[in-house]
Amino acid sequence: MKTRKPIAILAATAVAGLGLTAFATPATADTTVTVSNILQVSPSSIAGTSVTLNNRSNQALAVVSLFLSDGDEACSVNKNPFCSVQQGGTATFDIAPGASGALVRLTDPANPNNIFATFTVTYPDAPPTGSTPAPVIQQFEKPATGTCDEAQPEGLNWGGASSGGWGESWARWANAGQGGPVCTRTLEYNNSTATWQVQ
């Protein structure tokens, strides 16, 4: 009788410990990229629907990628103000559906052509069961000549979307923040075909 009680307590402790271990395991992969004080990024690739930048460098960083957004619009080089993460701060950005090894540049806010570091992002192929991603608005500055369809930049046909379907609009971020004409379209996710389509 005396030996059974300690064995029962030991067995209960082991089962409880296994339960705690199971709860401590994350359900999804970590989507945080840390920028060190020597402007190195870790990890160099993220897969998910969003990415959090943890800026441990000694300066603010502009974040440039058509495949990231700050919830308002894509983090393009023309966005005013730039998507950014302050020195010692964190910021979370949405990864655009269709991103597959898409390059993200971390640059000098005063000179976005001065690239400090890069990493890549990939959006999961299929949305969670029973959910539909929200429509995505895409925009770029309207060219001085030619049509929007002719001037469409590469990389905007996400997840099976076709080229074209551009209309004209006006946006404040265009023309270095002075505002101006832009080409715009909306992509909508089709659950039955599991592809993005021009709306």
Quick one: which H or E segment has residue 125?
none
Domain assignment of residue 17, yes or no? no
pLDDT in the model for residue 178? 87
Task: Verify that 155 and 105 share a domain, yes or no.
Answer: no
Task: Verify that 96 and 175 share a domain, yes or no.
Answer: no
Structural domain ending residue among the three candidates 62, 93, 122: 122
Which residue has better confidence, 24 or 41? Answer: 41
Domain assignment of residue 151, yes or no? yes
Q: In angstroms, rounded to a whole number, what is the distance separating the alpha carbons of residues 93 and 75?
A: 9
Domain assignment of residue 22, yes or no? no
Task: Verify that 57 and 101 share a domain, yes or no.
Answer: yes
Q: In angstroms, rounded to a whole number, what is the distance separating the alpha carbons of residues 104 and 58?
A: 19
pLDDT in the model for residue 127? 55
Whether the full predicted model's pTM is greater than 0.75, yes or no, is no
Task: Verify that 152 and 185 share a domain, yes or no.
Answer: yes
163-184: average pLDDT: 88
Task: Verify that 117 and 154 share a domain, yes or no.
Answer: no
The answer for residues whose C-beta is within 8 angstroms of residue 185's C-beta and 6 or more apart is 137, 138, 165, 166, 167, 198, 199
pLDDT in the model for residue 78? 80
Task: Verify that 106 and 58 share a domain, yes or no.
Answer: yes
Task: Verify that 147 and 67 share a domain, yes or no.
Answer: no
Backbone angles phi, psi at 56, to 5 degrees: -100, 15
Task: Verify that 112 and 141 share a domain, yes or no.
Answer: no
Which residue has better confidence, 21 or 28? Answer: 28
Domain assignment of residue 129, yes or no? no
Which residue has better confidence, 45 or 71? Answer: 45
4-18, 21-35, 120-134, 179-193: least confidently modelled range:
4-18
Q: In angstroms, rounded to a whole number, what is the distance separating the alpha carbons of residues 111 and 130?
A: 43
pLDDT band, very low/low/confident/very high, at 26 (cuts 50, 70, 90)? very low
177-194: average pLDDT: 84
Is it the case that residue 34 has pLDDT exceeding 80? yes
pLDDT in the model for residue 124? 81
Domain assignment of residue 128, yes or no? no
Identity of residue 125: D
Structural domain ending residue among the three candidates 90, 122, 154: 122
Quickly list H helices, the chain.
4-24, 148-151, 174-177
Average per-residue pLDDT for the chain:
79
Domain assignment of residue 61, yes or no? yes
CATH number at residue 107: 2.60.40.420
Q: Count the domains in the chain.
A: 2
Domain hosting 62: range is 32-122
182-192: average pLDDT: 85
Task: Verify that 81 and 103 share a domain, yes or no.
Answer: yes
List the one residue out of 64, 53, 81, 73 whose CA is nearest residue 115: 64
- Range 145-149, long-range pairs (CB < 8 A, 24+ positions): 148/183
pLDDT in the model for residue 17? 37
Task: Verify that 63 and 112 share a domain, yes or no.
Answer: yes
Distance in angstroms between the alpha carbons of the first and the last residue of the chain: 74
Task: Verify that 112 and 48 share a domain, yes or no.
Answer: yes
Q: Which two tokens stand for residue 173?
A: 């971020």
List the one residue out of 195, 197, 168, 194 whose CA is nearest residue 182: 168
Task: Verify that 143 and 99 share a domain, yes or no.
Answer: no
pLDDT, tens digit, for every residue of 77-88?
888 888 999 999
58-62: average pLDDT: 91
